[in-house]
Structure 1
Amino acid sequence: MLDAADILAASILIVDDQEVNVRLLEQILREAGYRRLTSTMDPYAVCDLHRTNRYDLILLDLEMPGRDGFQVMEALKEDEADADGYFPILVITAHPDHKLRALASGAKDFISKPFDLMEVRTRIHNMLEVRLLYKQLEHQNRALESLALHDPLTGLPNRRLLMDRMALGIAHARRNRGNMAVVYLDLDGFKEINDTLGHDGGDALLKMVATRLVGAVRQEDTVARVGGDEFVIALAELSHGDDMEKLVSKVLQAVSKPCSIQGSSVNVTASVGVSVYPVHGDNVETLMKSADLALYEAKGAGKNDYRISGLAEL
């Protein structure tokens, strides 16, 4: 929830070609407790200023030479200076017939000239309250969206986001007649390590492994945690089988380095199953199933090793 301090900390831009009006508005706002004030008498500077500072409120005079307030609002829309498409504009006008036109042009409210002190303070406070609540809601929605697509422990993409990334990777490989690979990874003996270190130690190990996996692959690849001690890596844009084998070997080496957990040195390894588009499947589900089956083969053969689905020639 918002409090008075949040509103008084909002960033405000004053736009007026008359210095006396700028100084009067600055005085009114400072006396009310607002601290983050910027002003300009150049209407052509508004877009650049807003793009850089993302003001919570723009106090915009409608009558200015060269570019009036209506043209400034149009320029803001065309420039897309506000990332969320919400333009927090409070227009200032001495002409009653301009008010409806200003609201139709995108302004959220208006202040009449000559200034009424109580009106100025009230309208600014009310508009900032709405604006900041809007931003707070947007932030919460983005946080919820991130939670829906990422593993809360490691911060890696979860199964849902992985599926989307794999589908895009397959489509790209199909268009370019290329390859992509799915690397399904399971930690060897994680249950015993988890039982020995406790859940906190086990969680610390999983986060450390996640960091190592991200560091072992390329920027264009996706590392996801799909549950427990299982991770999946979507390797994008492979030029030939050797690229994939080198990357998988690098992943195994990264995981097998000793970890310092709760003051103790812990050794962990991984078993890995690999499937490659289009050799082992042409869709997400088939490639995941093929990699999972190859993982079981790797586990059956021993630890710290990988198997390629069906041992097909790449």
Structure 2
Amino acid sequence: MPSREDILNAKILVVDDSPDNIELMEEILREEGYTNVSSTMLPEQVCPLHRQHTYDLILLDLQMPGLNGFQVMKGLKEIEQGGYLPVLALTAQPSFKIAALEAGARDFISKPFDLLEVHKRIHNMLEVRLLYKELAQYSKTQQELALHDALTGLPNRRLLEDRIATTLQHANRHHHKAAIMYLDLDGFKAINDTYGHAYGDEILKMVAQRLVAHSRKEDTVARLGGDEFMIVLGDIHTLQDAMGPAAKLVEAVSEPYFINDLTLRLSTSIGISVYPDDAESVEALISIADYALYEAKRAGKNRFCTTSAGPVEATPAPASAPVAPADLAHR
């Protein structure tokens, strides 16, 4: 639940064509302890102001020259797009009360003001509004967690498959190609076994950062789990457009990793599949990239492989001590 401090710090906008009414409402709010109050006498400013500040409560007079309160609420609905419309209608007309609720207002305050009623309705509305925002943020956070890897923050397999499908649709529409790079770390098991999983987790996070840094912004870098990653490249024209980035990634991953007082090394093997040359479905492209990855491992690791070009070895990295022992049998 929102705290009293949260409620008193909520953003409030007072809208009325009468300067006396605005002054009165600001005084009521100020005496109650509300600290973030602004006002306007121009109803046409309400929507632009709300887009800019996202108010928690709008105290809206319904009878104003030019745009009336009902017209203002219509514009606010387009901004909120089905969300919680934070409007508390102010009216001296009993017939407007139900009409205001039907138009989207969450509640109303009658004129002339009853001080106890004003305080209670404002407090209740702000409490509900802030709770609504908390729940919306919680839902967004849960959705992010469901679609991203907890350790690296990269998209997980669930989000990855959706990104691949979208990339393939775009490539098909524009008559381009797309590529999938399936990566597996060479020697990662040896690091875990020798130095522990805490060091292994640090390596995975550093690898993720390098993969993102050496990929285009429009490409998707994802972690499948364990020491397996995948990169989706869109808008390419030839296989060479995927082989160049793959070579750079092999080189980047093989650079030393400095953790505490240790210098650790490992490398990566990459399998590449190309749409539509190798396959046209998400599942088939992943399967072909996985097979190409196996071929890169079988050819000696620290290289990339495509079904058409075969394994391509990377330039060996210089030795550095202490070095994590390689587990050549581990994929």
Both structures adopt the same fold (TM-score exceeding 0.5)? yes
What does residue 301 of structure 1 align with? 299
What does residue 265 of structure 2 align with? 267
Task: Please report how far the alpha carbon of residue 99 of structure 1 lies from its aligned counterpart in structure 2 after TM superposition.
Answer: 0.3
Task: Measure the CA separation in 2 of the matches of 1:170 and 1:99.
Answer: 53
Q: How many residues align?
A: 310
Amino acid at match of 2:76: L
Judge which range, 46-55 or 251-260, deviates more. 251-260
Aligned counterpart for 1:229 among listed residues 223, 227, 230: 227
Deviations 1:26-60 (A, max 9, x none): 11111111111111111111011000000000000
What secondary structure is seen at the aligned counterpart in 1 of 2:90?
A: strand
Matches within 5 A, 1:161-180: 161-180=159-178
What does residue 13 of structure 1 align with? 13
What does residue 200 of structure 1 align with? 198
What secondary structure is seen at the aligned counterpart in 2 of 1:86?
A: coil
CA contact (8 A) 1:180 1:277 kept: yes
Task: Measure the CA separation in 2 of the matches of 1:84 and 1:222.
Answer: 31
Task: Measure the CA separation in 1 of the matches of 2:178 and 2:71.
Answer: 50
Matches within 5 A, 1:86-165: 86-165=84-163
What does residue 72 of structure 1 align with? 72
Task: Measure the CA separation in 1 of the matches of 2:173 and 2:41.
Answer: 53
What secondary structure is seen at the aligned counterpart in 1 of 2:193?
A: helix
What secondary structure is seen at the aligned counterpart in 2 of 1:81?
A: helix
User: Compared with structure 1, are the counterparts of its residues 260 and 83 closer, same or farther at alpha carbon in structure 2 (3 Å cutoff)?
Assistant: farther
Deviations 1:234-273 (A, max 9, x none): 1111111211111111111111111111232111210111
What does residue 209 of structure 1 align with? 207
CA contact (8 A) 2:84 2:132 kept: no
Task: Please report how far the alpha carbon of residue 75 of structure 1 lies from its aligned counterpart in structure 2 after TM superposition.
Answer: 2.4
User: Compared with structure 1, are the counterparts of its residues 38 and 84 closer, same or farther at alpha carbon in structure 2 (3 Å cutoff)?
Assistant: farther
Q: Which segments of structure 1 move beyond 2 Å, counting only runs of 4 or more?
A: 80-86, 309-312
Judge which range, 170-179 or 93-102, deviates more. 170-179
What does residue 328 of structure 2 align with? none
What does residue 32 of structure 1 align with? 32
Task: Measure the CA separation in 1 of the matches of 2:214 and 2:145.
Answer: 24
What secondary structure is seen at the aligned counterpart in 1 of 2:128?
A: helix
Task: Please report how far the alpha carbon of residue 20 of structure 1 lies from its aligned counterpart in structure 2 after TM superposition.
Answer: 1.2
Aligned counterpart for 2:254 among listed residues 250, 253, 256: 256
Task: Measure the CA separation in 2 of the matches of 1:83 and 1:75.
Answer: 10
Unaligned runs of 5+ residues in structure 2 are 311-331
Task: Measure the CA separation in 2 of the matches of 1:13 and 1:177.
Answer: 51
Task: Measure the CA separation in 1 of the matches of 2:8 and 2:193.
Answer: 52
Amino acid at match of 1:74: K
Aligned counterpart for 2:277 among listed residues 271, 276, 279: 279
What secondary structure is seen at the aligned counterpart in 2 of 1:153?
A: coil
Amino acid at match of 1:68: N
Task: Please report how far the alpha carbon of residue 177 of structure 1 lies from its aligned counterpart in structure 2 after TM superposition.
Answer: 2.2
Aligned counterpart for 1:291 among listed residues 289, 304, 315: 289
Task: Measure the CA separation in 1 of the matches of 2:139 and 2:75.
Answer: 28
TM-score, normalised by the number of residues in structure 2: 0.91
Task: Measure the CA separation in 1 of the matches of 2:98 and 2:33.
Answer: 30
Normalized per residue, the structure richer in helix is 1
Task: Measure the CA separation in 2 of the matches of 1:268 and 1:120.
Answer: 67
User: Compared with structure 1, are the counterparts of its residues 84 and 264 closer, same or farther at alpha carbon in structure 2 (3 Å cutoff)?
Assistant: farther
Task: Measure the CA separation in 1 of the matches of 2:75 and 2:166.
Answer: 36
What does residue 55 of structure 2 align with? 55
Task: Measure the CA separation in 1 of the matches of 2:80 and 2:248.
Answer: 43
What secondary structure is seen at the aligned counterpart in 2 of 1:23?
A: helix
Task: Please report how far the alpha carbon of residue 310 of structure 1 lies from its aligned counterpart in structure 2 after TM superposition.
Answer: 5.0
Task: Please report how far the alpha carbon of residue 278 of structure 1 lies from its aligned counterpart in structure 2 after TM superposition.
Answer: 1.2
CA contact (8 A) 1:294 1:310 kept: no
Task: Please report how far the alpha carbon of residue 83 of structure 1 lies from its aligned counterpart in structure 2 after TM superposition.
Answer: 5.8
What secondary structure is seen at the aligned counterpart in 1 of 2:222?
A: strand
